[in-house]
């Protein structure tokens, strides 16, 4: 089998650039190598080797040895393909779940009669962009905020993006806040130490699936339909829907009340 056949196959299967695939195939076939050796063998500039190797390192496809000067080494192909397969299976399952929920949401957005007031509806992609929309909604709330989440990273992300600080300030200003949250002890300590006010109620939410949404004043909702599992604050694959469609907001409000009724109240600390 020609080396180029292996390069082409790996490039397509693992979504690699041609130079990335060439580096990986060379390391698999020839063992660990220095950047200069790779540049000479593959007839690439040393800087191009560094750039491509950095991307391969980030994806866990190659490693660096501990010797000095360090050499690049291929991660076992079986492990690379197993991890890629697991990620793609998870992505497919996430997409299937999002499809089912999104179809229901879109159906709920179709009112039986044209609404007197035009509803706002938009899809927001990217964790940073969603956080900006979330914080704006929290700042604009007049009387009531409902927060429901079972997504493990929600509290940490709310703290990192400034949403938790805004919630705390709005609660001190007297807004009604009911939060049904699934969090670890550290997350609860953070919420309970910051979010306090005369109309604050907190409950522990334990469901069999991920939910994550905010309802503002009973009139507008921000709902995540795809949660990016990475830790990056600017994760690109996160997707949310923001809408004022009355039917949809009311339906999710009913769901919140049902979840709230089954949630466990947090005892005052």
Task: Name, of 10-14, 106-110, 152-156, 215-219, the range with top average pLDDT.
Answer: 215-219
Q: Answer whether CATH 3.30.870.10 is correct for domain 117-265.
A: yes
Secondary structure (3-state) at 261: helix
Q: What pLDDT does 186 receive?
A: 81
Least confident of 10-14, 39-43, 110-114, 167-171: 110-114
**Between the CA atoms of 245, 246, 249 and 252, what dihedral angle is there, to the nearest 10 degrees?**
-120
Where do the structural domains in the chain lie, given as residue ranges?
A: 3-75, 117-265
DSSP letters, 92-137, are HHHHHHHHHHHHHHHHHTS-SS--SSPPPEEEEESHHHHHHHHHHH
Looking at every residue in the chain, the average pLDDT score rounds to 89
Distance CA 70, CA 57 (A): 13
Structure-block tokens of residue 22: 């060439």
More confident of the two residues 231 and 86: 86
Candidates 91, 52, 36; CA nearest to 237 is 91
Q: Assign 126 a pLDDT band (cuts: 50, 70, 90).
A: very high
Q: What pLDDT does 183 receive?
A: 83
Q: What pLDDT does 5 receive?
A: 87
User: Omega into 69 within 30° of 0, i.e. cis?
Assistant: yes
Arch. (CATH architecture) of 3-75: Orthogonal Bundle (1.10)
Distance CA 176, CA 197 (A): 9
Distance CA 201, CA 137 (A): 20
pTM of the entire predicted model: 0.56
Residue 116: pLDDT over 70: no
Strand partners, 73: 63
Residue 70: pLDDT over 90: no
Percent of the chain having pLDDT more than 70? 97
**pLDDT per residue as tens digits for the range 244-260:** 999 999 999 999 999 99
Q: What pLDDT does 66 receive?
A: 83
Q: What pLDDT does 122 receive?
A: 92
Q: What pLDDT does 194 receive?
A: 82
Q: CA separation (Å) from 247 to 101, 123, 134, 205, 231?
A: 15, 17, 21, 24, 34
Q: What is the largest CA-CA distance in the chain?
A: 73
Q: What pLDDT does 106 receive?
A: 85
Average pLDDT over residues 40-61: 92
Continuous segment of H or E residues that includes residue 221: strand 220-226
Residue 22: pLDDT over 80: yes
Q: What is the DSSP letter of 60?
A: T
């Amino acid at each position: 089998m020609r080396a180029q056949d292996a390069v082409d196959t790996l490039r397509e299967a693992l979504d690699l650039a041609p130079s990335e695939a060439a580096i990986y195939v060379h390391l698999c076939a020839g063992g660990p190598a220095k950047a200069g050796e790779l540049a000479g063998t593959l007839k690439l500039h040393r800087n191009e080797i560094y750039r491509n190797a950095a991307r391969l390192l980030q994806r866990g496809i190659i490693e660096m040895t501990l010797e000095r000067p360090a050499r690049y080494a291929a991660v076992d192909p079986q492990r690379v393909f197993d991890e890629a397969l697991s990620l793609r299976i998870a992505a497919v399952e996430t997409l299937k779940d999002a499809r089912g929920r999104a179809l229901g949401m879109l159906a709920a957005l179709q009112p039986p009669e044209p609404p007197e007031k035009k509803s706002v509806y938009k899809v927001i992609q990217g964790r940073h962009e969603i956080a900006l929309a979330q914080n704006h909604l929290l700042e604009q709330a007049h009387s009531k905020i409902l927060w429901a989440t079972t997504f493990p990273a929600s509290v940490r992300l709310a703290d990192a993006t400034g949403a938790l600080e805004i919630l705390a300030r709005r609660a001190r200003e007297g807004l009604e806040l009911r939060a049904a949250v699934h969090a670890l002890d550290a997350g609860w300590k953070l919420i309970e130490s910051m979010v306090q006010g005369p109309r604050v109620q907190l409950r522990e939410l334990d469901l069999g699936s991920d939910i994550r949404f905010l309802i503002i004043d009973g009139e507008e909702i921000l709902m995540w339909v795809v949660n990016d599992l990475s830790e990056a604050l600017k994760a690109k694959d996160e997707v949310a829907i923001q809408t004022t469609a009355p039917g949809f907001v009311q339906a999710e409000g009913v769901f919140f009340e049902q979840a709230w009724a089954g949630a466990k109240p947090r005892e005052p600390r």
